[in-house]
Structure 1
Amino acid sequence: MGVSISLDDLLGEEVRRDPYPFYARLHGMGEAVAFRPGEPHALVVHGYQAVHRVLRDPVFRVLGAEFLDRAGTRWRQHPVTRILQTSMLNAAPGDHLRVRRLFGQALTPRRVAALEPAITRIADRLLDRLAAAGADGRPVDFMDGFALTLPSDVVGELLGVPERDRAWFPSRVRTFDAVLEIGRRSMREVRAANVAATELTAYFTELLAARRDRPRGDLVSALVRIRDRDPDQLSADELLANLIIMYNAGFRTTANLLGNGLVLLVARPDARAALRADPSLAPAYVEEILRYEPPVHFALRYAAADTEVAGLPVPAGRTVVVLTGAANRDPRRFPDPDVFDPSRVDNRHLAFSAGPHHCFGAALARAEGRLVLPLLLDRFPALALAAEPGERRQLMLRGYDHLPVRLTSPGPAVHRPIGTLPNHPD
């Protein structure tokens, strides 16, 4: 019998904390490895070429409604699962292409480019708030005070979510997203995600109605016009599900890009100084952050027909775990893959997946990282971690829950006689 692994190997605590030594061991086994008999999946696919092929091969499909129905229809009782299966994430190939084209009519490159002034404006405002909270070297939570808020505000700006409502989303999105992690989820997590899904559906139902009555220049208004023009091309459920997924994905992944990237740069003063000195390097930095510490590490696919990957059989109907996070560290594709090198050439990573399910919002995420990282480093050149950032335990939406930082170096205490004031210029 050839080499095989168990799903428990992938889901173990040590791998969740730091998956890269495990990925390195996988790379020593080839491009793919079989799971042991009785495991829920046939293979783990981890080599760059094999991952790239599976993501683009029409034989391998997302785990949509047709696939889930083979094991029963109880999943349809859960609002969170219905949204996931109705959205582009898990739509059947024909439905996926149809919906993606319709959303593409609204989320154009021109619309993303037009958002750049808003991204800069939102970032400046949040940096002001961060500076006030972290005055005199007081620790602040970068995730809560900036990394989560900025992309939430940006995607809110894109969709047309009023600014007063945006703080309502993060806790619900975090609860909704918990069911995306690989492995079994507790019923407590599923019930909480169902509540979040129901609340998000109600919110966007109201927003769609408001934009139908009073259209604006936002994405929701554009999508309402597209649906009203040809209702047969986009059902009400598809519109709602994809708005929810677009909002969720639009800020969780970017928040983790910013948090993961900041930790990498704080630990590498030379790289940070180079980016501060030349902000035009930001696009290359963003790509290397995405390769080196991607926010998403895996996808699941099933074989629609008997096939093989790297010489290993995959019977029709069996699923494979596609480790994009491992593919980004494949030494056969990237020289010195465990070295963070923003000057890396030909850095075509798989952080945004590949093929028909390539991330729909990749251009927006890249724009946010490119614009925001130089602003952050320029505003706070002495920024440092105030404490250990804590563990990241997820492979899907991998990032820090909290990231305590100091924005300035705490200076020595200044003692003045009572009743005196510092001098101020006239």
Structure 2
Amino acid sequence: MDVSEAFASLMSPEGRVDPYPAYERLRAHGPVVQAGRGLYAVTGHAEADELLRDARIRVLDGHLRDQFLPSWRESPALSSIARSMLRTNPPDHSRMRRLAAGAFTPRRIGAMREVVAAQTDELIDAMAATGRGGVPVDFMAEFAYPLPVGVICALLGVPAADRPLFRRWAADLTGALEPEITPAELAVADAGAAELRDYFTELVADRRRRPADDLTTALVQAHDSGDRLSGEELLANLVILLVAGFETTTNLLGNGLAVLLAHPRAADVLRQHPQHAPAYVDELLRFDSPVQLTTRTNGETVRLGGVEVPADSWILLLLGAANRDPRRYPRPERFDPWRAQLNPLSFGAGPHYCLGAGLARLEAQVAFPALLRRLPGLASAGQPRRRIRLTLRGYDHLPITVGEPQAATVGGAPAGTAIGSP
């Protein structure tokens, strides 16, 4: 299969549901390949990591987007994304990121562990009640969505009663992150973006009247204090902080649980020894990343992986493929939380490294041991359904049975002793 055929297989509905065979078809032609006119795909870990850290490599910001899609400002979805820190370059990116970074320091994230643990136990109790007697439960709806959306909404100051609104709006908006999107799909994304912008317009007005100790108030005050944040940037970043704050973690929880259920021996080790959760979460991120790709462009010609990439090319960094590069990870198709080196690229690298990566890791490190310990009979209950998305990989529906629950332990499950590889 030549490169164009391999790339077409990745973009097909089947490739979006399971991209890993297509990644290997592309990798067979090298770690960097030309996939079309002005389009290059990167499957190598070292090459992707290098590009993500290279100052000559930029995200597709509004100025660059003007060159090939001057009507982008008419799209609520594209404009929300393009005006946020997700799709801006320095100095604008540095300015916006600095304003939000205070909510995601290691100290603040560490202080949230007890809150995450308490929410985890509440959701497990609710699932146990819903799934009493072997009734199947949708893990995505009952746990994987409400846990991270509750955490990010608490940071932003979004009322608990409003949280159920965001799942559909965010799912619709994130369609605009796909490498290919039809006009009909863009219309759906625009509708979701418009709903989110309307919601945050009202929340911003409320925070001006009644400031609170939350990230929304901090960003509103940054806007109102002068030139640090424009009105469009304020709304765009609130939308992206919300969506990015739970979409990736929801997919990490769903993808991760599916992997653990498919590897019961490894799951049992984590159940007995929760102190190994950090290694497990990193391997889950590598094995089935919730973010499979990101895009960049180059301001000048670069040479990478033996390939010359001309200036102003569109570069597709296939993070899911890089995380399974056999040059970096021997037997990459094997789930192995005891690998000597991980450093998965699931949250990117360099200046655009995911601001909430530490929070996502914390939520998963708390959730998986608690789920396995408190629900020892946890099992699959039918055919799961994947979203037909490539950029953000996850499940629409993941049915499980919960079995007979165990009581919560104050302060979390007791740590076990160190052990060797499972």
TM-score by length of 2: 0.92
Determine the C-alpha separation between the residues in 1 that align with 2:13 and 2:73: 31
Contact 1:294–1:351 (CA under 8 A) maintained in structure 2 = yes
How far the C-alpha of 1:21 sits from its partner, in A, is 2.4
1:115 aligned onto 2:86: no
How far the C-alpha of 1:368 sits from its partner, in A, is 0.3
Inter-CA distance 367–109: structure 2 relative to 1 (3 Å threshold): same
Equivalent residue for 1:192?
188
Q: Trace 1:3-152 onto structure 2 (pairs within 5 A).
A: 4-6=3-5, 7-36=7-36, 39=37, 41-152=38-149
Structure 1 stretch displaced more, 306-315 or 238-247: 306-315
Inter-CA distance 308–197: structure 2 relative to 1 (3 Å threshold): same
**Per-residue Cα deviation, 1:350-386 (whole angstroms, up to 9, x for no partner):** 0001111111110110010011111111111111110
Unmatched runs of 5 consecutive residues or more in structure 2: 405-422
How far the C-alpha of 1:301 sits from its partner, in A, is 1.0
**Per-residue Cα deviation, 1:55-107 (whole angstroms, up to 9, x for no partner):** 11122211111111112421111111111100011112211111111211343
- Could you tell me which of 378, 381, 387 is aligned with 1:386? 381
Q: Bigger radius of gyration, 1 or 2?
A: 1
Determine the C-alpha separation between the residues in 2 that align with 1:377 and 1:238: 41
Determine the C-alpha separation between the residues in 2 that align with 1:347 and 1:72: 38
- One-letter code aligned to 1:239: L
Helix, strand or coil at the partner of 2:85? coil
- Could you tell me which of 145, 152, 158 is aligned with 2:155? 158
Determine the C-alpha separation between the residues in 2 that align with 1:379 and 1:74: 52
Helix, strand or coil at the partner of 1:353? coil
Equivalent residue for 2:218?
222
How far the C-alpha of 1:189 sits from its partner, in A, is 2.0
How far the C-alpha of 1:222 sits from its partner, in A, is 2.3
Structure 1 stretch displaced more, 111-120 or 74-83: 111-120
Helix, strand or coil at the partner of 1:150? helix
Equivalent residue for 1:171?
168
How far the C-alpha of 1:109 sits from its partner, in A, is 2.6
How far the C-alpha of 1:299 sits from its partner, in A, is 1.0
Count of residue pairs the alignment pairs up? 404
Helix, strand or coil at the partner of 1:35? strand
How far the C-alpha of 1:29 sits from its partner, in A, is 2.5
Determine the C-alpha separation between the residues in 1 that align with 2:111 and 2:234: 23
Contact 1:5–1:33 (CA under 8 A) maintained in structure 2 = no
Determine the C-alpha separation between the residues in 2 that align with 1:115 and 1:105: 14
**Per-residue Cα deviation, 1:122-146 (whole angstroms, up to 9, x for no partner):** 1111111111110001111010111
- One-letter code aligned to 1:159: L
Moved over 4 A (4+): none
Determine the C-alpha separation between the residues in 2 that align with 1:48 and 1:71: 29
- Could you tell me which of 284, 301, 310 is aligned with 2:305? 310
**Per-residue Cα deviation, 1:361-418 (whole angstroms, up to 9, x for no partner):** 1011001001111111111111111002134432111011000111117xxxxxxxxx
Determine the C-alpha separation between the residues in 2 that align with 1:58 and 1:150: 36
Equivalent residue for 2:325?
330
How far the C-alpha of 1:319 sits from its partner, in A, is 0.7
**Per-residue Cα deviation, 1:191-246 (whole angstroms, up to 9, x for no partner):** 222222122112112212222222222221222333334x2111121121111101
1:209 aligned onto 2:208: no
- One-letter code aligned to 1:161: V
How far the C-alpha of 1:17 sits from its partner, in A, is 3.0
Helix, strand or coil at the partner of 1:340? coil
Q: Trace 1:160-309 onto structure 2 (pairs within 5 A).
A: 160-183=157-180, 185-229=181-225, 231-309=226-304
Structure 1 stretch displaced more, 284-293 or 207-216: 207-216
Inter-CA distance 141–295: structure 2 relative to 1 (3 Å threshold): same
Determine the C-alpha separation between the residues in 2 that align with 1:76 and 1:125: 42
Determine the C-alpha separation between the residues in 1 that align with 2:66 and 2:325: 35
Contact 1:383–1:408 (CA under 8 A) maintained in structure 2 = yes
Determine the C-alpha separation between the residues in 2 that align with 1:392 and 1:345: 32
**Per-residue Cα deviation, 1:291-316 (whole angstroms, up to 9, x for no partner):** 00000111111121122222212222
Inter-CA distance 26–73: structure 2 relative to 1 (3 Å threshold): closer
Determine the C-alpha separation between the residues in 1 that align with 2:235 and 2:103: 15
- One-letter code aligned to 1:219: L
**Per-residue Cα deviation, 1:251-310 (whole angstroms, up to 9, x for no partner):** 111011111111111111111110010110111110000000000111111121122222
Inter-CA distance 223–111: structure 2 relative to 1 (3 Å threshold): farther
Contact 2:42–2:317 (CA under 8 A) maintained in structure 1 = yes
Give me the identity figure in percent.
45
Structure 1 stretch displaced more, 64-73 or 154-163: 64-73
Determine the C-alpha separation between the residues in 2 that align with 1:391 and 1:164: 28
Determine the C-alpha separation between the residues in 1 that align with 2:24 and 2:192: 37
Inter-CA distance 132–186: structure 2 relative to 1 (3 Å threshold): same
How far the C-alpha of 1:114 sits from its partner, in A, is 2.5
Aligned CA RMSD, in angstroms, stands at: 1.8
Helix, strand or coil at the partner of 1:89? helix
Contact 2:17–2:390 (CA under 8 A) maintained in structure 1 = no
Equivalent residue for 1:373?
368
Determine the C-alpha separation between the residues in 2 that align with 1:195 and 1:23: 32
